[in-house]
Amino acid sequence: MEFFNFHTHQFTNRSNVLELVNQYPLEFDATIPFYSIGIHPWHIKESGIDLELKIIEEKLQTKNCLAIGECGLDKRIEIPLELQITVFEKQLALAEKYKKPVVIHCVAAFQEVTAIKKKLKISVPMIIHGFSKNKQLAEQLIKDGFYISFGKYLLRNPDLKTVFQDIPNDRFFLETDTIEENIEQVYSLASEYKNLNLKDLQDIISSNFKQVFGENN
């Protein structure tokens, strides 16, 4: 693995990239080698929750399923927050049961996500994907035990440079999510911001991968 793409919606099938492809339970694609699977808060349909959780639980027991998610909370959508919290907590319970990390989608709900992590005493790694906020929030998330993944906003927003530079090297990942740029472009900018050569950055992310996803993958 030269490059690890922590979160993407596009499977590119390149041999030098390990992609953690986001999958939805009802649109599962068995040809994708490594994936996360979860109920995104945007796509919660009350009538389908039990079936989707059943599919997620089945997939979590396979080697190719590296994580649960993306799942989480989003205060900028119309789906009631109480329902979002219920669905999120059920997925976290599965993550704990099968010892899988969690890819977190969080919009304007960081306090709630942190409170749930503490309340449920979550022991598996939780990774906030697509981080775009300020240094104070990043520091608090790190202190509360989260990992943080950067991608789209790192490329789009120069103000994130100093935020990213201050993230401890053992607590971050890189991703493409839905952008057209490839993971190499994200690595290139990240290595420039961190003042590292590409090989050192690859070693750091490889080490973080082993820490979060285990030695066996």
Tell me whether the omega of the peptide bond preceding residue 19 falls within 30 degrees of 0, making it cis.
no
- Indicate the pairing of strand 17-23 with strand 3-8: parallel
Length of the chain: 217
Rounded Cα distance, 142 and 166, in Å: 11
Residue 217's pLDDT is what?
A: 58
Q: Alpha-carbon distance 64 to 81, whole Å?
A: 31
Residue 123 buriedness (CB in 10 A; 0-12 / 13-18 / 19+):
exposed
Question: What's the pLDDT score for residue 184?
Answer: 98
pLDDT, averaged in runs of 10, over the chain (217 residues): 96 96 97 97 97 98 97 98 98 98 98 98 98 98 98 97 98 97 98 98 98 81
Give the Cα separation of 65 and 194 in Å (integer). Answer: 30
On whether 7 is known to bind a ligand per the annotation, the reply is: no
Query: What pLDDT was estimated at residue 166?
Result: 98
> Does 177 appear as a known binding residue?
yes
pLDDT at residue 1, as a whole number: 82
Is residue 9 annotated as involved in ligand binding? Answer: no
The answer on whether 144 is annotated among ligand-binding residues is no
The pLDDT score that the predictor gives to residue 70 is 97
| Sequence ranges of the domains in the chain | 3-213
CA distances from 207 to 11, 171, 173 (A): 23, 10, 11
Q: What is the CATH number of domain 3-213?
A: 3.20.20.140
- Residue 61's pLDDT is 97
pTM over 0.85: yes
